[in-house]
Structure 1
Amino acid sequence: MSNMMTEIFAFLLTICGWVLTASTVATDYWKVSSVDGTVITTATFWSNLWKTCVTDSTGVSNCKDFPSMLALDGYIQLCRGLMIAAVCLGFFGAIFALVGMKCTKIGGSQKTKARTACLAGFHFILDGICSLTACSLYAHKITSEFFDPLFVAQKFELGGSLFIGWGGSILCILGGFVFCLSLAEGFNLRYTECGYNRATSFASAPQRPNPSTTLQKDCQDQGGTSRQFGRNAYV
């Protein structure tokens, strides 16, 4: 029962992490920069993996999609690939988790379900690693430009989408490790039960009487009978 609850907890962790990771791909504020006036913010510049936008003080946004995928910077192309791979890995990991969990009725034998659950755990761990790498690479590019004194173009800061991606990555990695640990606990419990059953069967097996004990008991009985017979003979 505890192993089943552990798998359900790991499944909830990984699903929440995968949802956060998938939502990070479409969110807007990967990097943000603002132009402040005397009283209010006059303009806010922000960008993500797909477009760059500017929002004025009235809340009106003007966006421009990246014109060509081949003309993009290398780090943006790499982040796109890693995030798409993370979403795909999380999708297949969720399917394998549903098949391999003990509380479901599909997946075959317990040995097959255990292997499927372990495969789901590896998928979620890879999902978290891909998302973590993409967000960290994008954040490294922002910070390196921000602290570079020779960089004269507009400088940006870390957006909220990066923190969402980091949180989803950690949840996926933790859930994947919990899946693997629950698999190991299941095998240890199985071996313990097998050992207990063997010990019980050995203890409950009928034991053969010891010949020497039986012979000694017979001799004692014969001796007692002979002594009793002799005592009665002289009476």
Structure 2
Amino acid sequence: MWRRLAQILGLLVSILGWGLVASTLAMDHWRVAQLGGEGGSSVVTAAWYWSNLWKDCYEDSTTVVNCVDFGVLWAVKSYIQAVRGLLMIGLGLGLVGTVLTFFGMECTYIGGGQRTNDKMLITASALHLVGCVSDMVGYCLYINRVAAAILHGKADPSKLRYDIGTPLYLGLVGSFLILLGCTLQCATACRVTHPKRREYSTCSRNPMVPFIRDKGASRGNNSLYGQCSQSKRANGANNFSPYKMAIGNTVIV
């Protein structure tokens, strides 16, 4: 029962994370720069420059927005193209991983046997993990460029100093949720695929004690008891200390 609940929780958390990541692609204000409107400034009006992965925009205090869409693909800056590609790759892998998770869950009764479902869950967890890493690399690349612009803005006051916007924070939170969901799924699959086996030292005990077999083992494993008993007796014979008994004039060794 706990395994089904963990799988359902992992799927829901992963879907929530991918939803946050997908929503950041359409959100504005990836980076924001403000001009004027500060305390003690002689400029009364305020203006905001903000950008996302698709356009640059200017907004004044009257809430009039003027945007310039990015041109053809080869005219966009290289780091923006890289961020787009990384996010798209992550979303594609996440979609495939979500489908495999749905087919490999124990409560859906769609996949094959238990071992097949566990393999599908492990594969889905790997796809979620790779997609999550791809998304995080894309967000970190964009944040790095924004931070570099901030440092250059301090050296050159004439340049705009952009700040990190809300979509980047949401994307990082979504990546963390994806990582948490795939960890839950992989934990449930690995626990069944590689169960914790109890090891019993039969040879160190009395050879007359029956051999304890794991649940589901075949009857052929009973031969291990015979081998263990024989090795026990053989070792006992080798380590046997002779005692001499004298009965009359005969010495028995």
How high is the TM-score relative to the length of structure 2? 0.73
Match of 1:126 among 127, 130, 135: 130
Residue equivalent to 2:164: 158
Residue equivalent to 1:12: 12
Distance between the aligned counterparts of 1:119 and 1:188, measured in 2? 15
Distance between the aligned counterparts of 2:171 and 2:195, measured in 1? 36
Deviations 1:196-233 (Å, cap 9, x if unpaired)?
Answer: 4559xx9xxxxxxxxxxxxxxxxxxxxxxxxxxxxxxx
Deviation at 1:35, TM superposition (A): 1.3
Q: Does 1:63 align with 2:67?
A: yes
SS in structure 2 of the partner of residue 108 of structure 1: coil
Residue equivalent to 1:30: 30
Q: How does 1:169-180 map to 2 (within 5 A)?
A: 169-180=175-186
> Higher helix fraction: Structure 1 or Structure 2?
1
Distance between the aligned counterparts of 1:126 and 1:198, measured in 2? 37
Match of 1:195 among 214, 225, 231: 214
Deviation at 1:51, TM superposition (A): 0.5
Gaps of 5+ in 2: 199-212, 222-253
Distance between the aligned counterparts of 2:100 and 2:216, measured in 1? 32
Match of 1:146 among 139, 146, 150: 150
Distance between the aligned counterparts of 1:83 and 1:140, measured in 2? 16
The one-letter code matched in structure 1 to 2:176 is I
Distance between the aligned counterparts of 1:10 and 1:137, measured in 2? 28
Contact (CA 8 Å) 2:115, 2:193: kept in 1 or not?
A: no
Match of 2:96 among 88, 92, 95: 92
Distance between the aligned counterparts of 1:109 and 1:197, measured in 2? 16
Residue equivalent to 1:216: none
Deviations 1:95-140 (Å, cap 9, x if unpaired)?
Answer: 1110000010201111111111111111111121111111110000
Contact (CA 8 Å) 1:34, 1:41: kept in 2 or not?
A: no
Deviates more, 1:48-57 or 1:35-44: 35-44
User: Judging changes above 3 Å, is the alpha-carbon distance between structure 1 residues 24 and 112 closer, same or farther for their aligned structure 2 residues?
Assistant: same
How high is the TM-score relative to the length of structure 1? 0.78
Deviation at 1:68, TM superposition (A): 2.4
The one-letter code matched in structure 1 to 2:32 is V
Indicate the structure (1 or 2) with the bigger Cα radius of gyration.
Answer: 1
Contact (CA 8 Å) 1:34, 1:45: kept in 2 or not?
A: yes
The one-letter code matched in structure 2 to 1:187 is T
Larger RCO: 1 or 2 (CA < 8 Å, sep 6+): 1
User: Judging changes above 3 Å, is the alpha-carbon distance between structure 1 residues 147 and 110 closer, same or farther for their aligned structure 2 residues?
Assistant: same
Distance between the aligned counterparts of 2:36 and 2:90, measured in 1? 37
SS in structure 2 of the partner of residue 147 of structure 1: helix
Distance between the aligned counterparts of 2:104 and 2:141, measured in 1? 34
SS in structure 1 of the partner of residue 23 of structure 2: helix
Deviation at 1:167, TM superposition (A): 0.5
SS in structure 2 of the partner of residue 104 of structure 1: coil
SS in structure 2 of the partner of residue 15 of structure 1: helix
Moved over 2 A (4+): 36-41, 148-153, 187-192, 196-199
User: Judging changes above 3 Å, is the alpha-carbon distance between structure 1 residues 132 and 41 closer, same or farther for their aligned structure 2 residues?
Assistant: farther
Q: Percent identity?
A: 32
Cα root mean square deviation, aligned: 2.5
Gaps of 5+ in 1: 203-235
